Structure formats: structure tokens, C-alpha cells
Amino acid sequence: MPQDAVMDPSPDSPAEPLVSVVMPCLNEARAVGICVEKARRALAAMGVRGEVVVVDNGSSDGSPEIAARAGARVVHERRRGYGAAYLRGFQEARGRYVVMGDSDDSYDFSDIARLIAPLDRGFDMVMGTRLKGQILPGAMSWSHRWIGNPILSGLLRLMFSTRISDSHCGMRSFTRAAYERMHLRTQGMEFASEMVVSALREGLRIQEIPITYHPRLGESKLVGLRDAWRHLRFMLVYSPSYLFQLPGVLLATFGACAVVALAGGPREFLGRQWDYHGLLFGAIAVILGYNLVLFDVFAKTFSMGAGLAAPGRWLVRLTDWFTLERGIVLGGVAFLLGLGLEIKIVLDWARAGYGPLMAVRGIVIGMTAMVLGAQTVFASFLISLMLIKRR
């Protein structure tokens, strides 16, 4: 920490603060003043120039006035939401380092020095972890502690290859440069997940420190299932491999095996005879699986073109090789092969005198090839459109 930095108690001072403490606030009259005072005392003890920014998100209990009397700079954000409040607060913050935390006294702002120290050592972001620290009695419900938080944090570790133990801890710090690189957008509770995912994708250096989690003062704003779904939805959207690619490949592989096995006639398997029904299910699985893989390509191509994510090696190779003309040729060949098989079946039927038509296998295989071919052609146009900006 710079030795010549001094604490500036005036929130309206034109001098640039070193540390900005940002707190969202929605009807936190019981706790917001306590949090502001703790933050200001911590900044004074550190001997740095700092500010406390409280973002009022539509309080009706006098919270903004209490925060202002305690020494905070209060700004107002009309858009409701955890993320919306923080986005406004980060925009208003002037410090080189930003500390964030809820204004319900569940996080101890006396810990600011511990959150800033790793940033001085070169880290870009510091995450508090309640799971490796201490959760005081009454601070977290058993369902959140033993079900919700472990599942969501585990999914985030699985999908984004991180070792962060408590990805939804709300007490964090980061540098101004790191914030500008993350390009945060979401306005709800999923903002907590977006910050972690964006930091990982940008390759930011992250350190976790154990913290103590206290029982909150006032009413909780969390809505368990709804907020859990928002986190899960965000992770799935930002990790299309788990939403599209993995189930798509599994379905297409299963379907292709079934079609190949049954194309020549019925088969004995697991003590049962499998025939037309298995062939139909296999064809449907191939089509659905191929659709999901295409959705994965669409999602990643869009993310790559919009600069939201770095593409994987296979996508880079695919987009470098891919041209609209090649896609049309591949899809057109598959479509024509399927159409040719269907025409042959109709001609054979006509030569046989229009009797009973029993060419189920050929019809299923031909229609599957036609559908996959048509999808490839039209998907090629969409992918080309999304690649225009990148190229």
C-alpha cells in the first residue's frame, strides 16, 4: 500500500481515492449505517484515501439518508436488481481498487485491508470464501449451505475449470483495470456468477481468502429457487458445450449406432428383437443430436464474433476451414443422396404395380439424410452471417 496515501473523509472531495467500497442497498435501514462506518474505519486504519459508495435500489425505509449521514456517497439506480445496482456503483466508483459487499452486515467490512493486500501483490481479483472460513450460526440456511451453494459452485467449477470454492460469496475486490476487462452485463443475482466466469475467461489472477459470514440484519432479498435458476441459466448459456455439444454428441452417436445396426434388417440384442421402431428412434436421435451440435456452433460463433469469449481450438479450425460454399456442397450432397434413395423407392414401388409399400428402412434413412442435408445448408448461411464481422 502506498505510504503517502491519506484518508479523505469527505465523499465529495475531488481528489481521486485509492479504494472505493461499493454497497448495493434495498431497505437496509438496520444495517447500512453500520456497514458504512465499518468501511470508513477500516480505510482510516489503512491510511489510504478512500470512499464508500452506497447504491440505493429503490429503498422506502430511509436507508439512503442513513448511509449519507454515516459518510457514504449515495447514488440511485432505478433499475431493480443485484447486478444493476453493482453496475451503477462500479460506474460511479473512482478508486483504483474496488471492494464490494452487501449492506446487510453479513460481511465484515473491517476486512478491507485483507481484500486489498493481494491486489497490491499483483492479483487482479480477490474472492472471499465462506466455506473455507467461518459461517456463524444463523448466517446461512442449511439448504443454501449444504445443497444450493455446493451444487452451484460445483457446477461452475465443472463447466469453467476453476478451483474457486465459494463462487457466490458476495465480498470481493478487484482492480479498476480488471473490471474494465470483464465487460459485465447481467442485472440480477446471476451477476455474481458472471463476474467469476468473465474473470476466468479473461485470464485474471484470482486469489481466495477465508472470511467470516455473519447473520444478516433485516430481511433477505434472496428467492431460493428463482435465484438458483438464474445462476444455472447463466452458466448454461455461457457454457454451451454442456447445454448443446455434450448431449448433442451423445444423442447423435447413439442414434447413428442404432441406424447402422438396423439398416440391414432386424437385430437380436439383450434378448429382444429390434426392428423398425428402434430404427425410427435412432433416426430421430441423429437429427436432434445434430441440431444440438449446430446450436453449439452457433452459440460459440456468436460469442467469438461478439468478443464475449475466446473460441476453442476446434472451433477456430472449423471457422478457418469453413466457407459458405463448402457448407452448401456438403449439405447438398447429403440432401441429394437422401432424395435419390426416396426416388428409387418410389420408382421400385411403381414398377411393382403400386402394391403394398414396405420400404420403411429406406424411407427412414433417406428422409434422415435429406433433413440433415437441408439443416447443413441453412446453418451454413447463418454461420457465414455471424462470421462476417470476424473476417
The share of the chain scoring above pLDDT 70, in percent, equals 85
Question: Is residue 197 a contact partner of residue 157, using CB atoms and an 8 Å limit?
Answer: no
Q: Band of the pLDDT at 269, cuts 50, 70, 90?
A: confident
Whole-structure pTM value: 0.68
**The C-alpha cell that represents 164 in the structure block:** 474457486
Measured between alpha carbons, how far is 240 from 80 in angstroms, rounded to an integer? 28
Domain boundaries, the chain: 19-238, 240-387
Query: Could you read off the pLDDT of 52-107 as tens digits, one per residue?
Result: 999 999 999 999 999 999 999 999 999 998 899 999 999 999 999 999 999 999 99
Segment 118-138, tens digit of pLDDT: 999 999 999 999 989 999 998
**Topology of the domain covering 19-238:** Spore Coat Polysaccharide Biosynthesis Protein SpsA; Chain A (3.90.550)
Residue type, 122: G
- Cα separation, 301 vs 304, whole angstroms: 5
Looking at the DSSP bridge assignments, the partners of residue 210 are 129
Q: What are phi and psi of 69, to 5 degrees?
A: -65, -30
Residue 2 has pLDDT above 70, yes or no: no
Q: What is the chain's mean pLDDT, rounded?
A: 85
| pLDDT for res 7 | 41
pLDDT in tens, 22-52: 999 999 999 999 999 999 999 999 999 999 9
φ, ψ of residue 132 in degrees (nearest 5): -100, 0
Q: pLDDT tens-digit profile of 158-209?
A: 777 778 888 889 899 999 999 999 989 888 888 888 898 889 888 899 999 9
What is the H or E stretch that residue 73 is in? strand 73-76
Neighbouring residues of 294: CB distance < 8 A, sequence distance ≥ 6: 375, 379
